[in-house]
Amino acid sequence: MEQLMRDFFLFLSKNKALTKLAKKYGLRFGAARFVAGETIERAVNVIKDLNSKDLVVTIDYLGEFIDNEAEAKEMADNSIQAIQAIGRENLRSQLSLKMTSMGLDISDDVVLGNMRRILEAAKENNVFVTIDMEDYSRCQKTIDIFKQLKSEYDNVGTVIQAYLYRTEQDMKDLNEYSPNLRLVKGAYKESPEVAFPEKSDVDDNFKKIIKMHLLNGNYTAVATHDDAMIEYTKQLVKEHNIPNDQFEFQMLYGIRTEKQLELVKEGYKMRVYVPYGTDWYGYFMRRLAERPANVAFVLKGMFKK
């Protein structure tokens, strides 16, 4: 049943008609739990609150699969606006983005032009930028563009997904760049031809790449809500005397809030992924797909008086 629900919500996440309806009717039906609002002003207030609890942040102006140059430029402008807000308000926040929102599917010139504008603004405001990884069909292109940008800028990292067979080799190839990587299990529905179908295999590979990246001496963001992975990381850094400033934990806004605060109290850096904007539907559906408990929360909120 759990796998059926996951597949159902992943299918819904790609429905363009429902995406348009979601933009029209705003953050309803429980989405506000996972999305910090539709404007940068609302997001800034959320970040300030999180920072006051010693939680650091990465902010993401939601949007993906842009197919025209004007919209890609607008998305880049919104990311720059977010960077400027971080600098102006002295927020402890980074920026995350999807390159499909910057024109990845249009042309290399478009996406690289938008990314360079963003990274220049980020450099001026001392903001780090993480390029989110998307579905398998865009994986190689994302890595290629990341390598090109990393040769030009120090303030850029990307994401590696443990559920892909290719991941271990990607980690080896990227090591020469001494990259700052966010390591995740992966949230897209992929073919068993390219991704591990069994959770146990994904977990094993996740542990493998966490260890690989940390022991290579690279900065590592372990993005997970899984207690087993958190404990594995704690034991690994203790065993190998890895300093706390070489890694951090990351979780999504609205999920496992108490655990986030617990990790802060234990002395670990805890970064919260805070999305905002009107194009929240695909992101929201993927959050529902990840955990059945999220669905129960939303249903409860829909009928709560």
Whole-number pLDDT of residue 22:
46
State the pTM of this model.
0.86
End-to-end CA distance of the chain: 29
Amino acid identity at 247: F
Pick the closest to residue 147 from 134, 168, 131 (CA basis). Answer: 131
Residue of 60, 138, 170, 182 marked catalytic: 182
**Is 132 marked active-site?**
yes
**Is 144 marked active-site?**
no
Residue of 60, 132, 203, 279 marked catalytic: 132
Q: What gap in Å lies between CA 266 and CA 194, rounded to an integer?
A: 38
List 58's β-bridge partners, or say none: 94, 273
> Residue 10 — left, alpha, or beta (φ > 0 → left; ψ -120 to 50 → alpha)?
alpha
Catalogue all structural domains in the chain, each as residue range(s) with its CATH number: 36-279 (3.20.20.220)
Token pair of 155 as six digits: 């303030």
Q: What is the pLDDT of residues 119-150, one digit of tens each?
A: 999 999 999 999 999 999 999 999 999 999 99
pLDDT value at 185 more than 50: yes
Whole-number pLDDT of residue 57:
98
Q: What is the pLDDT of residues 52-82, one digit of tens each?
A: 999 999 999 987 678 899 999 999 999 999 9
Whole-number pLDDT of residue 235:
98
Q: What gap in Å lies between CA 181 and CA 44, rounded to an integer?
A: 25
CB 230 within 8 Å of CB 263:
yes
Work out the mean pLDDT of the chain and round it to a whole number. 87
Q: Which residues contact 205 (CB under 8 A, 6 or more apart)?
A: 162, 163, 167, 168, 196
Q: What gap in Å lies between CA 295 and CA 299, rounded to an integer?
A: 6
Whole-number pLDDT of residue 188:
81
Whole-number pLDDT of residue 286:
63
pLDDT value at 36 more than 90: no
pLDDT value at 87 more than 60: yes
Whole-number pLDDT of residue 290:
61
CA triplet 259, 266, 271: central angle to 5 degrees? 55
